[in-house]
Homo-oligomer: A and B are copies of this chain.
Amino acid sequence: MEKGVPMYLVTVLLFALACSLASAFDPSPLQDFCVATKDSDEFVNGKFCNNPKDAKADDFFFSGLDKPGISVARIDFAPYGLNPPHTHPRGTEVIVVLEGTLYVGFVTSNTDNRLFTKVLNKGDVFVFPIGLIHFQWNMGNTDALIFAGLSSQNPGVITIANAVFGANPPINPDVLTKAFQVDKNVINYLEQQFK
């Protein structure tokens, strides 16, 4: 049934709590807040902050606050929309279902690669531990809506299919052929989907 379904069924709207260019870290704060400067050309770990005297309420609104240690994302699903298998290298995720019915799951690490799945309805909450591969799938023919909290303001996202078969430049096909233990034609076919 997912045939013909366009790719961007899932809209992830991560509220950008940190400027995307500057490298920063998640320690304990030493001031009430640090409003990151927006117009700096420098890349600095530990961002430049504006003079606290110059802070204004808008700095906390969709939000220039540096290092809150947390971020929130709104994820909209079209009917049968999928947020495909991915990991957040730097954050645990907690989701709350606002609308719709979702089938969600995650796989543990190599200890046993177990799959945990659950059908979630409105009001349900589910947790995806840091770094584990997980997915969310709208099972119904209506829109679905979830909110996600992540334990870092820049948790990162690695969509498995894109990172493995759509890397730029591509990963050596010999590596992938051996890793997935299939014929090289299959790898070529997979890589063509992510060009």
Interface residues of A (CB under 8 A from B): 1-2, 5, 7, 15, 17-18, 20-34, 37, 42-52, 55-58, 60-63, 65-72, 74, 82, 84-90, 92, 94, 96, 98, 103, 105-118, 120, 124-133, 135, 137, 147, 149-154, 156-172, 174-182, 186, 189-190, 193-194
Contacts and interface: CB of A to CB of B under 8 A. Distances in A.
Given A62-B124, A164-B85, A117 B57 contact: yes
Contacts of A61: 118, 120, 124-126
Nearest to A158: B109
Count copies of this chain in the complex: 6
B129 A84 contact: no
A70 B186 contact: no
Contact of A118 (B58, B137, B193): B58
Contacts of A67: 25, 30, 45
Contacts of A50: 43
A114 B28 contact: no
Given A15-B125, A32-B89, A43-B52, 7 more contacts: A30-B67, A68-B129, A72-B125, A110-B159, A115-B167, A147-B147, A160-B160
